Amino acid sequence: MRRFINQTGDSNKFWNIDQLDNSYTVTWGKIGTEGRTNEKTFSSGDDCSREVQKLIKEKLSKGYQEISEHGNIPIKPSPRYKPMDENVFWDIISTFDWKKTGDDDAVLRPAVKRLASMTIDDIYKFADILAEKLYMLDGISYASNIGEDSYKGENEHFSVDYFLYVRCCVVANGKNYFELVVSNPKQMPKEMDFEPLLYLPMEAYNKKTKTDNYDYVTKFDYETFSNINGWKK
């Protein structure tokens, strides 16, 4: 019997294959369980061997590693817990799956999963950091650089909600872009927004608690015009 394990990333799986003449038996599943079993028979031992080698090659390409037939399966170390701070915040933002653009839930799903795995206090702190970032971008210099819908003066139409969603887009694009925009408001996105970012803490809280009663009030008010100093001319 040949034994393989995959403990990369979130995986913690085993895959064993045992050939006897012209047939093989495969057992696979999550480490710590009995797993599932499948058998297959071929017309000859050579055909069976070729198929076994092909399957082993596929498993190795997917991150599996072979262990000795009678060796102990190593215990996968638990990821080291890091409480919420600026670095963890940006790390979570970086997990957005932009390949799924057009499906907001799919884009956010990795971040929601990661945040929901943390403590409720961490979720609240994430919400506070997010609110602070949005508050920092709440100002006339930023509002005046978002394309056709830019702020043009007190007597001109200006969508406060849309400006908030544009600020969300800045944060959603990561630390480097956020810092670039903070230092140079002309780099604000044009005709782009990402409202779903606002609901990430709520989605993570609901997933963790299996409720829908998220009512946390952040330390910063991120609504447009809240940053009074940012709107001084």
Write out pLDDT tens, residues 58-94.
999 999 999 988 778 877 766 667 899 999 999 999 9
Q: What is d(CA 47, CA 99) in angstroms, rounded to the nearest whole number?
A: 40
The distance of Cα 22 from the centroid of its chain, to the nearest Å, equals 45
Q: Considering only CA atoms, which of 50, 133, 44 is closest in space to residue 90? A: 133
Tell me if 65 sits within 8 A of 71, measured CB to CB.
no
- Collapse the DSSP code of 89 into the 3-class scheme (helix H, G, I; strand E, B; otherwise coil) and give the result: helix
State the distance between the two ends of the chain, measured CA to CA, in whole angstroms.
Answer: 76
Say what the pLDDT of residue 79 is: 64
Average pLDDT, the chain: 94
Say what the pLDDT of residue 74 is: 79
Report the pLDDT averaged over residues 137-146. Answer: 97
Say what the pLDDT of residue 129 is: 98
Q: Does the pTM of the predicted model rise above 0.85?
A: no
Sign of the four-CA dihedral 171, 90, 9, 205: negative
Q: Considering only CA atoms, which of 214, 203, 216, 31 is closest in space to residue 105? A: 203
Q: Residue 130: what residue type?
A: L
